[in-house]
Amino acid sequence: MRVLAVFAFLLIFSVASAAAPARYDLQPEESTVGFTWFFGKDPIDGSMPVASAKIAIDFQRLANTTVRVAVDVTEARAGFVFATQAMRGPRILDAARHPLIVFESTAVRPDGAAAIVEGLLTVRGVTRPVVFGAQLFRQRGTEEGDLSRISILVTGSLSRSAFGASGWSDLAGDEVRLRILARLRRADEE
């Protein structure tokens, strides 16, 4: 679904009518948790399905926004079969013992036309603070000011070795770039 327009978070504050955080449900079939890693010099794209998501957005006071998302490592794909096996294996994500990667926000604040989302990421049992950038979009088919269906693009990068997922460092780079496109529907919408 193509994005029609970008809304600054401050603009959204002015049109929003909700006084408290609004709960949103993730539309998993239209959302993607994508990542890019480097096989030698070659960038390889992978993805992971979302296992669960709890998102509450306060458009008037962004600091009240909370996000908790878990992704399913056992169904993660790393671009090609061998890489997927290696990624799920004990030397990287160890999916058999740690089937979920969990992100829980600790702070959300505006950053110009976007937002900064700070939180704790738990990968293979190791929890580290992370910082991501986020942009909010209105979905196609919604009117200006209608926040019942929105899309959030989250980007950032992390070091896999910081979480102990350091296997095959001679073949795969340490940096993993995230690109998450979450399509959300307000929970009280029918």
Partner 1 sequence: MRSFGNGADRFGLVTRVLHWSTALLVLGTLPLGLYLAGAEIGLSTLWLFGLHKSIGIAVLGLALVRLVWHRLSPPPPPMASVPAWQVRAARWTHRVLYVLIVAMPVSGWVASSATGIDTVIFGGWTLPRIAPVSERWEEVGFAVHGALAAALLTLIALHMAGAVHRRDGTLRRMLRG
Residues recorded for the chain? 190
Closest approach of partner 1 to the CB of residue 51, in Å: 23
Whether the Cβ atoms of residue 26 and residue 53 lie closer than 8 Å to each other:
yes
For position 161 contacting partner 1 by CB under 8 A, the verdict is: no
For position 144 contacting partner 1 by CB under 8 A, the verdict is: no
Work out the number of other CB atoms within 10 angstroms of the CB of residue 18. 12
Residue 90 or 145: which CB sits closer to partner 1?
Answer: 90
What is the dihedral sign for C-alpha 127, 88, 32, 55? negative
**Pick from 96, 105, 90, 101: nearest CA to 46:** 101
* CA angle in degrees (0–180, nearest 5) for 28-30-35: 80
Whether the Cβ atoms of residue 78 and residue 87 lie closer than 8 Å to each other:
yes
Residues 75-114, interacting with partner 1 (CB under 8 A): 80-82, 85-86, 89-91
At 168, phi and psi to the nearest 5? 55, 40
Closest approach of partner 1 to the CB of residue 86, in Å: 6
Among the residue ranges 35-43, 48-56, 126-134, 140-148, the one whose residues contact partner 1 (CB under 8 A): 35-43
Residue 84 or 148: which CB sits closer to partner 1?
Answer: 84
Q: Which of 8, 11, 16, 44 binds partner 1 (CB under 8 A)?
A: 44
For position 40 contacting partner 1 by CB under 8 A, the verdict is: yes
Q: Which of 29, 42, 143, 144 binds partner 1 (CB under 8 A)?
A: 42
Which chain residues interact with partner 1 by CB under 8 A?
Answer: 39-42, 44, 80-82, 85-86, 89-91, 171
